A and B are shown apart, each in its own frame.
Chain A
Amino acid sequence: MAISAPGIVSRAKPGQFLHIKCGEALAPFLRRPVSIHRIDREQGLVFLLFQVKGAGTSWLASRQPGDALDMLGPLGNGFRTPETNSSLLLVAGGIGIAPLVFLAEHAAGNGSRVKVLIGARNQDHLLLLDKLEEAGATVRAATEDGSFGLQGTAIDLLTQALQEEGADMICACGPRGMLVKTASLAEERQIPCYVSLEEYMACGVGACRGCVTKVLAGDGSITYLNVCSDGPVFAAGEVAW
């Protein structure tokens, strides 16, 4: 879905999200956080890629060209911008590829070497391979049923990639189980790793403390940070999985 929103585009960073009112009346009641998938700076367009899961996303998916949307954003802290000429591994599970495309395009434009490791249930759930290659990224795919690429998961691809070469930074978005394994592989090899988290959200701006995730404070104690305003991207070592 492409939305003309020059104000958002001018400030958007990879990993940030939009908080979107889905529906005209009271149902669904809360806004839906949707990560920024890509932007087109010249045309002032922001692209969204999302999976239809419930009432909110199905309303959003049924918008027609010319409709207006009520969006707050860009919100949250995005991925850390990789240093120029660094090598970057992006790990995506299913729809988790959505924000990583923005990051891949941004980093490739920055002169970084970007390799995207993307895992999905089957070939039909593998998205955007062409777009990623167009952006200059190397893409490796895995499907659980073996219908395309390696039979396995994004974690199998990551294990393989780390055996072949190192990386200056790993960024991941996908199911929690995948993020946990990514974090531990990165820690074993001492590679800085950033993960994008998801949680049910109310305000989206850090006021309600509703969307928290458990983190390890500097002194080793456990505390909660807001996914919306402290995240949604966290250093993997900070999260108390």
Chain B
Amino acid sequence: MRPDLAVEIAGISMKNPVMDASGTFGFGTEYRPLMDISRLGALVTKSVTLEPVHGNPPPRIWETAGGMLNSIGLQNPGLKSFLANKLPLLQSFNLPVIVNIAGKKVEEYVQLAAAMEQAPGVAGLEVNISCPNVKEGGIAFGADPSSAEAVTKAVRAACSLPVIVKLSPNVTDITVIARAVAEAGASAISLINTLTGMAIDHEKRRPILGNVSGGLSGPAVKPVALYQVWRVCQAVRIPVIGMGGIMNAGDAIQFMLAGASAVAVGAANFVQPGVMLEIIDGIEDYLVRHRIPRVGQLVGALEIS
């Protein structure tokens, strides 16, 4: 018998635990010519803000050992254009759509949440309080437990959608933030966002990224991500979506063993479009090989003697 890959995160039913990490998959349609998107467990959009955001000056991308830095700066067409031009296409994929929202003030998160509640076909929200590449908002909310709590509470009150709060690893103790958002009513937590970093051109004595600093992602961050996910899963009782450098099914399974109920794939999409489908198949193979009937049985199954 084929193993059961279905999971439920905060009331969102997914046919498997694999989704894209926000910002690495655009608004879904960009990868349509290259893969069968409808096979994903869920689709997470790039961050949507109230007004259009132009983003940071280039260069925005720099390759690093085992990964990459990016400093996009939340470039997106804004709420109105998202609802009119992006969301209808997303609905055609026939899978749960999780909309990532970002704001400069609590009030903006509230307005975005209320608008998404009214929009057809939004399965849940991912609240970005962890972008390292914008001056206002973003990580400013995610680095301080009381601000993280305030945003979460406000979004929770503004809509009845599942609220997934995305956390930053750029903090002293991520479990403090995780507990704060859980107590404030988050339905689930996703982590990690990128690690803040920079690159320097020593010949020119200048920073390489137009924004000076950026966010590090890719396999280089995976050990950090695994540890943070494992710690957060010990600290809270709400489901966790794990991400950070997942390149293959083995990586994804490691996050689930650490306690993640689902996983997201980011930079790997750039290297190998369609890698998420291979990861889904690989998880199924693993379950067959280990005679595990349901993928949920992997969650937190790490054995520490």
Interface residues of A (CB under 8 A from B): 21, 26-31, 72, 199-214, 222-224, 229
**A200-B59, A211-B61, A212-B55 known; A229 vs B30 contact (CB < 8 Å):** yes
Cβ-defined contact, B54 with A29, below 8 A: no
Task: Give the residue among B24, B57, B60, B64 with the most A Cβ atoms within 10 A.
Answer: B60
Binds A, one of B66-74, B166-174, B184-192, B232-240: B66-74
Cβ-defined contact, B65 with A205, below 8 A: no
CB neighbours (8 Å) of B67 from chain A are: 29
Q: Give the A-B pair count, Cβ closer than 8 A.
A: 95
Contact among B30, B54, B58, B62 for A203, CB-based, below 8 A: B30
Report 19 cross-chain contacts, Cβ distance below 8 Å, ordered by A residue.
A21-B271, A26-B219, A29-B64, A29-B66, A30-B61, A31-B270, A72-B34, A200-B59, A200-B61, A200-B63, A201-B61, A203-B24, A207-B31, A207-B269, A208-B24, A208-B70, A210-B61, A210-B72, A223-B54
Contact among B66, B72, B247 for A208, CB-based, below 8 A: B72
- Bound-state CA distance A8–B60 (Å) is 29
Cβ-defined contact, A210 with B60, below 8 A: yes
B interface size (C-beta, 8 A)? 35
Contact among A30, A204, A209, A223 for B60, CB-based, below 8 A: A209
Cβ-defined contact, A202 with B30, below 8 A: no
Cβ-defined contact, A27 with B271, below 8 A: no
- Bound-state CA distance A9–B63 (Å) is 29
CB neighbours (8 Å) of A203 from chain B are: 24, 26, 30, 269-270, 273
Q: Does B218 contact A (CB under 8 A)?
A: yes
Q: Does B23 contact A (CB under 8 A)?
A: yes
Q: Does B25 contact A (CB under 8 A)?
A: yes
Cβ-defined contact, A202 with B58, below 8 A: no
Nearest B-chain residue to A30, judged by Cβ: B63
Q: Does B75 contact A (CB under 8 A)?
A: yes
Cβ-defined contact, B58 with A199, below 8 A: yes
CB distance from B199 to the nearest CB of A (A): 11
CB neighbours (8 Å) of A201 from chain B are: 61
Nearest B-chain residue to A55, judged by Cβ: B63
CB distance from B46 to the nearest CB of A (A): 8
CB neighbours (8 Å) of B23 from chain A are: 208
- Bound-state CA distance A203–B275 (Å) is 13
Cβ-defined contact, B273 with A205, below 8 A: yes
**A72-B34, A208-B24, A209-B60 known; A26 vs B66 contact (CB < 8 Å):** yes
Cβ-defined contact, B24 with A29, below 8 A: no
CB neighbours (8 Å) of B218 from chain A are: 29
- Bound-state CA distance A111–B273 (Å) is 39
Cβ-defined contact, A207 with B25, below 8 A: yes
Nearest B-chain residue to A221, judged by Cβ: B54
A-B contact sample (20 more), CB < 8 A, given A208-B61, A209-B72, A212-B55: A21-B271, A28-B63, A29-B66, A29-B67, A30-B63, A199-B58, A202-B68, A202-B70, A202-B270, A205-B31, A207-B269, A207-B270, A208-B26, A208-B70, A208-B72, A209-B26, A209-B60, A210-B60, A212-B60, A224-B54
CB distance from A38 to the nearest CB of B (A): 24
CB distance from A64 to the nearest CB of B (A): 23
**A30-B63, A72-B273, A203-B270 known; A209 vs B58 contact (CB < 8 Å):** no
CB neighbours (8 Å) of A72 from chain B are: 34, 273
CB neighbours (8 Å) of A199 from chain B are: 58-59
CB distance from B28 to the nearest CB of A (A): 9
- Bound-state CA distance A213–B159 (Å) is 37
Cβ-defined contact, A31 with B271, below 8 A: yes
Cβ-defined contact, A210 with B30, below 8 A: no
- Bound-state CA distance A80–B18 (Å) is 40
Cβ-defined contact, B70 with A29, below 8 A: no
CB distance from A177 to the nearest CB of B (A): 16
